[in-house]
Amino acid sequence: MHKPIAEQTMAKKPIVWTIASSDSGGGAGIQADLHTFNALGCHGCSVIAAITAQNSTQIVRVEPVSPALFANQLDCLLQDMPPNVIKIGLIPEPKLLTQLAQWLHQHKTASGFMIIADPVLSSSSGYHFASQAIIESWRQQLLPLLDLITPNLPELALLSAMPQATVANQATQLLTWGAAAVLVKGGHGDIGGDITDYFFSKDIRFALQQCRINTKHNHGTGCVLSSAIAAVCAQDYPLSDSIIVGRAYLQQALSHSYSVGEGPGCLQHYSWPTDYQYFSKLYWQQEPTVKKVSFASMATPIGLYPVVDNVMWLKRLLPLEPDVIQLRIKQGSTNQIEQQIAKAVQLSRDYNLRLFINDHWQLAIKYGAYGVHLGQEDLALADLNAIAAAGLRLGISTHSYYELLRAKQLTPSYIALGHIFATQTKQMLSQPQGLKRLKRYAALCHGIPTVAIGGINLQRLDKVLACEVDGVAVVSAITGQRQPEQAFLKFKHRVEQFYAHNA
C-alpha cells in the first residue's frame, strides 16, 4: 500500500521533550514549552512532573505526580518517540529529581540526546521551590549530566553557593561541578539598562546584549528561552547558534506579548526569527579593537565572484571581462606570493577589475588592491583599522549565526555565507549549511551585501540566487572544468539574467 504523497514528501520533525510542570494559566511550564517547540518546527512531547493550580496573579497549589507515573511517562516515550533534545524545567519534588537523574544517567549515552535545563527555583509570582534538598539534587546529581544549564542571577547564586562572587566565578563553579556549559540570564540585573546574558563553557565564552523591553507581560520568559534553545539544537545547530537564535526568539515573543488576566501576560509565539532587530549584540573573548570606522562599500552589485589560486587563472579569465575576483594563494614562498599579488593588482587596474586578496592583508595594502577577504580565524590577527584606513574593502567568511553576528558588527563591505553544499575545494570544519539556512542568514545581513559560496554549480545556481544573496562565489565550478572559459561565461550570463529579471 502506497503512502499518501504528503506523507512521502514531508520532512520528519525533530522530537524535543519537556520534563517540567504544567501551568494551568498557559503562559509558562509545559504549555509554553510546547508552544515554543511547535513554532520552531519541532514536535514536542511532555513528561509532567507536577500539576499546578495557577493564574496570572498567583500559584494556589503545586502537586507532584507519583514516582511511578513519572517513570511510566519517561519509559513510554523513549520506547516509541526518543528525543533529539530534552529540556528540563520545574521539578518541585527532590525524589523526582533524583529519579530523573538516575534515568538520564542510564539512557543518555545510548540514546545520544542533549539535555538543557532551566533550574526553576522560584516563580515570577513569588512562589519558591528552592529547598536545600532540591538545590543539592541539582548540584550533585543533575549538573554532571547537563549540556547546558540556564540559571538567572538569583538561581546562579543559589546553585553555586557563592552569592558574593562574580558571575564568572559562579558560572565556573557550575562547570567545575560537571555542567558542560552555563548560560546566565541577565534579566534580574540593572533594571534600567540593557540585558546582558553570559555564556560559559570550557572552550568559549561570550556575552549577548539586548535592549530591555519594558513590559509586565513577561510570564514564562525562562521557560521559553530554554525551550527555544532546545528546539534549535534539535535541528543540528551548534550550541552557540542555538543560544543566539533562542535569545532572538525570546526577544521577538516579548516584543509582541499580550495580556490575558489581571497579572503579567504571556509571550506571543511566532516562527523562526529572521529580523535583525531581535538579535543580540555579541561580545566575544578576543574581540578585535576596531575604531569607529567603516569599510569602503562595494559601489556596484557583486554578482558572479570567481575565486582563483594563482595569477595564471587571472590572466585566463580577464579577457572575459569579470567584474570581481578573489585571489586565494595558499602555496608558495613569501617572495613568490608577494610577486603574484603585485602582478595581480597591476592586472586588475589594467582591466578595471575589483580584486580581493585572501588573507594577505599587508600585501593588499602595500600594492593597493581593491579589497581583502578574511576568514574568522584571521579577524583577531589582522589590523582591521589599517585595512579601513587604507580604503580597502573587507569581505568576511561566515559559517554560523555566531560568526555572522560577529562579522556584521564589524560592518564589512560584504559577508560570505557558506559553505552551502559539500565542497572538495578545502577542508571544512562546519557542516554544509543548505538553502534554508542560507536564506535565513541573508535576511539578517540587510544593509550589507552577501555572497553565497561552497559547492555551487550551474544546476544549483538558481535556487541559491533565489535565497536573495547579492553574489555567488565559485571555485571548481569554473577552474575545475574542462572548458573553464565557457563555464565562466555560462555562470556570468545566468547570474546577470537573474539579477536583471529581479531588479
The owner of cell 565542497 is 423
Percent of the chain with pLDDT over 90: 86
- The residues spanned by each domain of the chain are 13-284, 303-501
Instruction: Output the pTM of the full model.
Output: 0.93
Coil, strand or helix at 62: strand
Whether residue 134 is predicted with pLDDT greater than 80 in this model: the reply is yes
Q: pLDDT band at residue 1, thresholds of 50, 70 and 90? A: very low
Which pLDDT does position 285 carry in this prediction? 66
Give pLDDT, residue 293: 72
Amino acid code (one letter) for 370:
Y
Please, what CATH class does the domain formed by 303-501 belong to?
alpha beta
pLDDT value for 5: 46
Angstrom distance (rounded) from CA 324 to CA 496? 13
Q: Model confidence over 250-298: pLDDT tens digits?
A: 999 999 999 999 999 999 999 999 999 999 999 976 554 555 678 999 9
Contact 27, 260 (CB under 8 A): yes
Residues 6+ apart with CB under 8 A from 260: 25, 26, 27, 56, 266
Is 59 or 394 the better-scoring residue by pLDDT? 394
- Listed in sequence order, the DSSP H helices in 112-139 are 132-137
Q: What is the pLDDT of residue 284?
A: 79
- Give the mean model confidence (pLDDT) for residues 466-480: 97
| Measured distance CA(55)–CA(26) in Å, rounded | 8
The confidence score (pLDDT) of residue 7 equals 47
Q: Do domains 13-284 and 303-501 have the same CATH topology?
A: no
Write the pLDDT tens digit of every residue in 11-30.
799 999 999 999 999 999 99
Q: What is the mean pLDDT of residues 464-482?
A: 97
CATH number of the domain at 13-284, please? Answer: 3.40.1190.20
Residue type (1 letter), 383: D
**Where are any strands of DSSP class E within 337-447?**
354-358, 371-374, 393-398, 414-417
Coil, helix or strand at residue 337: helix
The pLDDT mean for the chain works out to 93
DSSP assignments along 189-203, one per residue: S-TTS-EEEEEEESS
pLDDT average, residue stretch 130-150: 95
pLDDT tens-digit map of 45-64? 999 999 999 999 988 999 99
Is the per-residue pLDDT at 423 higher than 90? no
Which helix H or strand E contains 85, and what residues bound it? strand 85-88
